[in-house]
C-alpha cells in the first residue's frame, strides 16, 4: 500500500487541519479605517500617513522616509532621485521578483543580471565585482526571502567604485545587521506592502533615505512633481527660506490614508511577529540539520534579527534522486498546505514575467535593445536552485506554533522514508495528482 499522500496514502494532516492565515487584522484596524472614512481626509499627506512614515523609519533606524504606491515604484523613484537613467548600468540579482529589474528599464537603465550565492540566494559579491564596468552607476541589493548577503563588504565595494547602493527591502521589514536595520545601509531603500508581505496594506510602498535633498526629490517624484511644502512638518523638515520650489516632471505615486491606517496597525504587531517567525525559523533550521539530503540556508553571524518573507532550504537532488518540484508537491499534500512549498523565484533570464522586449517604449535603439535582453546573462547557481534544489515556503508557515516546526520535519522524514514512491511518479502525472488533491 502507498504511504505518501501524493501517491494515494494517508496525509500527515487532514483537510480540517488549520494553519495560520495571512494577512491578519484586529478590531483596532477596523476602527481606525472607520475613523479615517469619517474624517473626509482620504488622500496623500494625511496625519495617519505621516505618523506611519515617522514610526516605520524610526523602527528601521532610518533618518527620512515616505510612502509611495508600491515597491516597484519605490525602486523607480530611488533610481530617478539618484539621477540614474538612459544607458546607465545597474547591477541586479538574477533571483528576485521581476520588479527589481523592471524598475531599471522603466528609467531606461540597463539591468545587469548577476548570480547569487548557493546557500543564501542573495547577491554573490564576487560576481558583483566581476560585473562592474565604467558604465555601472548603482547596485541594487535584494534582501531575499530570509537571508542576507555580506552587507559590510557590499558597502565597501560601492565606496571603492563610487557606486550608489539601493536596498530592495520588500521581503524584510524587521531585519537587523549588527543591530542596524536593513534599508539604512544604502543611499535609498525601497519597501513593499503588498498583501503577501510581512507588513501589508494590500498594496503600498515606502522609501527610506539619508539626506534632506534625497527626501525632497523623492517627495516631489511621488507627488506629481510638486515641491515639499512642509505642511505638515515631518522629520523636523521645516520649509527653508532658500528651499528649491521648482517642479519636476513626474506622476502620481501616492498612498491613501486607508492604506496608511492598515500599515499603522500592522506596525504595532510587526516586531513581535518578526521575533516569532525568527524563533521558529531558528528551530526549523536546527531540525533540518539532522536530516540527510536536506540543507538549511546560511545565516551570517552579523544578523541580529532576521525577518522572513519566505523560509528557504535546499534538498540534494543527486543524493535523493528527486527534484524540488516533486518534493514540494509531496510536502504540500502531506501537510494540507496548497501551494505553500514551491521552488524559489525563476531566474530573471528565464522568467515568464520579465519580458523587456514586449514594450515598445524600451526600444531606444539596437544597442540598448540588445543590452536589456535577459537571455544574454548566464547565472548557473540561480538556475540550479530554481530547477533542482531550492525549496521556499511563505512566511505564514512560521506564524504557527513551535511544535508545528517539528510536524514539518516529520513530513520531510516521511517523504524521505518513502522516497521510492515519489521517484516513480513522472512530473506531469505528479502535478496533475497534486492539483486534484488540492481542490
**Of 203 and 17, which is predicted with more confidence?**
203
Q: How far apart are CA 362 and CA 360, in angstroms?
A: 5
The C-alpha cell at 293 is 539530503
- Give tens-digit pLDDT for 275-291: 999 999 999 999 999 99
pLDDT at 395 over 90: yes
Q: How far apart are CA 393 and CA 400, in angstroms?
A: 13
Q: What is the mean pLDDT of residues 349-373?
A: 95
The CATH number that applies at residue 406 is: 3.90.1150.10
Q: How far apart are CA 75 and CA 100, in angstroms?
A: 7
**Res 436: pLDDT:** 56
Least confident of 171-185, 211-225, 228-242, 422-436: 422-436
Q: What percent of the chain has pLDDT over 90?
A: 89
Q: How far apart are CA 306 and CA 147, in angstroms?
A: 7
Same domain, 173 and 289: no
**Residue after which a domain boundary falls, among 266, 300, 321:** 266
Same domain, 117 and 146: yes
**Residue 370 included in any domain:** no
**Res 232: pLDDT:** 77
**Residue 161 included in any domain:** yes
The CATH number that applies at residue 131 is: 3.40.640.10
- Give tens-digit pLDDT for 37-95: 999 999 999 999 999 999 999 999 999 999 999 999 999 999 999 999 999 999 999 99
Same domain, 95 and 161: yes
**Of 432 and 438, which is predicted with more confidence?**
432
**Residue 407 included in any domain:** yes
Same domain, 388 and 417: yes
**Residue 41 included in any domain:** yes
**How many structural domains compose the chain?**
2
**Res 435: pLDDT:** 57
**Residue after which a domain boundary falls, among 224, 249, 266:** 266
Same domain, 47 and 177: yes
**Res 246: pLDDT:** 75
Task: Please give the span between the terminal C-alpha atoms of the chain, in angstroms, as a whole number.
Answer: 23
Q: Which of the four pLDDT bands, split at 50, 70 and 90, describes residue 339?
A: confident
**Residue 202 included in any domain:** yes
Any residues with CB less than 8 A from the CB of 87 and at least 6 apart, and which? 108, 109, 110, 135, 364, 368
Same domain, 184 and 35: yes
Any residues with CB less than 8 A from the CB of 282 and at least 6 apart, and which? none
Q: What is the largest CA-CA distance in the chain?
A: 81
Q: How far apart are CA 122 and CA 135, in angstroms?
A: 23
The torsion angles phi and psi of 160, rounded to 5 degrees, stand at -60, -40
**Residue after which a domain boundary falls, among 211, 234, 266:** 266
Q: What percent of the chain has pLDDT over 70?
A: 96
Domain residue limits at 423? 5-22+270-345+384-438
Q: What is the mean pLDDT of residues 171-188?
A: 98
**Res 15: pLDDT:** 85
pTM of the model: 0.95
**Res 241: pLDDT:** 63
**Res 335: pLDDT:** 96
Same domain, 215 and 291: no
**Residue 353 included in any domain:** no
**Residue 203 included in any domain:** yes
The C-alpha cell at 72 is 516597484
Same domain, 307 and 196: no
Same domain, 304 and 254: no
**Residue 351 included in any domain:** no
pLDDT at 239 over 80: no
**Res 1: pLDDT:** 72
Q: What is the mean pLDDT of residues 151-156?
A: 98
- Give tens-digit pLDDT for 344-355: 999 999 999 999
pLDDT at 236 over 60: yes
Same domain, 255 and 168: yes
**Res 429: pLDDT:** 63
pLDDT at 434 over 60: no
Q: What is the mean pLDDT of residues 371-382?
A: 98
Same domain, 166 and 141: yes
Q: Whose grid coordinates read 539601493? A: 166
Q: What one-character DSSP code corresponds to residue 223?
A: B
Same domain, 15 and 121: no
Amino acid at each position: 500500500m502507498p504511504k505518501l499522500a501524493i501517491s494515494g496514502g494517508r496525509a500527515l494532516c487532514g483537510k480540517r487541519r488549520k494553519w495560520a492565515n495571512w494577512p491578519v487584522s484586529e478590531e483596532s484596524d477596523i476602527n481606525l479605517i472607520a475613523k479615517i472614512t469619517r474624517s473626509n481626509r482620504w488622500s496623500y499627506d494625511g496625519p495617519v500617513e505621516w505618523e506611519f512614515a515617522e514610526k516605520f523609519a524610526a523602527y528601521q533606524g532610518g533618518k527620512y522616509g515616505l510612502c509611495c504606491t508600491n515597491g516597484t515604484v519605490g525602486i523607480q523613484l530611488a533610481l530617478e532621485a539618484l539621477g540614474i537613467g538612459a544607458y546607465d548600468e545597474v547591477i541586479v540579482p538574477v533571483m528576485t521578483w521581476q520588479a527589481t529589474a523592471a524598475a531599471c528599464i522603466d528609467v531606461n537603465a540597463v539591468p545587469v543580471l548577476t548570480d547569487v550565492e548557493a546557500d543564501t540566494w542573495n547577491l554573490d559579491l564576487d560576481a558583483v565585482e566581476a560585473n562592474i564596468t565604467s558604465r555601472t552607476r548603482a547596485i541594487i541589493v535584494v534582501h531575499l526571502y530570509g537571508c542576507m548577503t555580506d552587507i559590510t563588504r557590499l558597502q565597501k565595494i560601492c565606496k571603492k567604485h563610487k557606486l550608489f547602493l539601493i536596498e530592495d527591502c520588500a521581503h524584510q521589514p524587521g531585519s537587523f545587521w549588527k543591530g542596524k536595520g536593513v534599508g539604512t545601509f544604502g543611499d535609498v531603500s525601497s519597501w513593499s506592502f503588498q498583501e503577501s508581505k510581512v507588513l501589508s496594506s494590500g498594496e503600498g510602498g515606502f522609501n527610506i533615505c539619508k539626506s534632506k535633498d534625497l527626501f525632497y526629490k523623492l517627495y516631489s517624484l511621488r507627488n506629481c512633481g510638486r515641491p515639499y511644502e512642509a505642511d505638515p512638518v515631518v522629520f523636523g523638515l521645516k520649509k527653508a527660506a532658500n528651499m528649491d520650489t521648482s517642479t519636476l516632471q513626474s506622476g502620481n505615486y501616492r498612498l491613501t490614508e486607508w492604506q496608511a491606517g492598515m500599515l499603522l496597525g500592522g506596525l504595532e504587531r510587526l516586531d513581535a511577529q518578526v521575533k516569532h517567525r525568527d524563533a521558529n525559523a531558528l528551530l526549523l533550521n536546527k531540525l533540518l540539520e539532522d536530516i540527510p539530503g536536506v540543507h538549511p540556508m546560511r545565516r551570517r553571524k552579523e544578523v541580529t534579527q532576521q525577518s522572513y518573507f519566505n523560509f528557504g532550504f535546499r534538498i540534494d537532488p543527486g543524493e535523493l534522486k528527486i527534484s524540488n518540484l516533486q518534493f514540494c508537491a509531496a510536502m504540500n499534500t502531506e501537510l494540507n498546505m496548497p501551494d505553500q512549498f514551491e521552488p524559489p523565484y525563476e531566474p530573471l533570464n528565464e522568467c515568464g514575467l520579465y519580458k523587456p522586449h514586449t514594450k515598445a517604449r524600451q526600444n531606444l535603439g539596437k544597442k540598448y535593445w540588445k543590452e536589456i535582453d535577459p537571455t544574454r546573462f548566464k547565472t548557473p547557481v540561480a538556475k540550479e536552485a530554481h530547477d533542482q534544489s531550492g525549496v521556499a515556503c511563505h512566511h505564514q508557515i512560521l506564524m504557527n506554533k513551535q511544535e508545528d516546526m517539528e510536524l514539518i520535519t516529520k513530513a520531510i522524514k516521511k517523504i524521505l522514508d518513502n522516497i521510492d514512491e515519489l521517484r516513480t511518479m513522472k512530473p506531469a502525472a505528479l502535478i496533475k495528482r497534486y492539483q486534484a488533491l488540492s481542490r
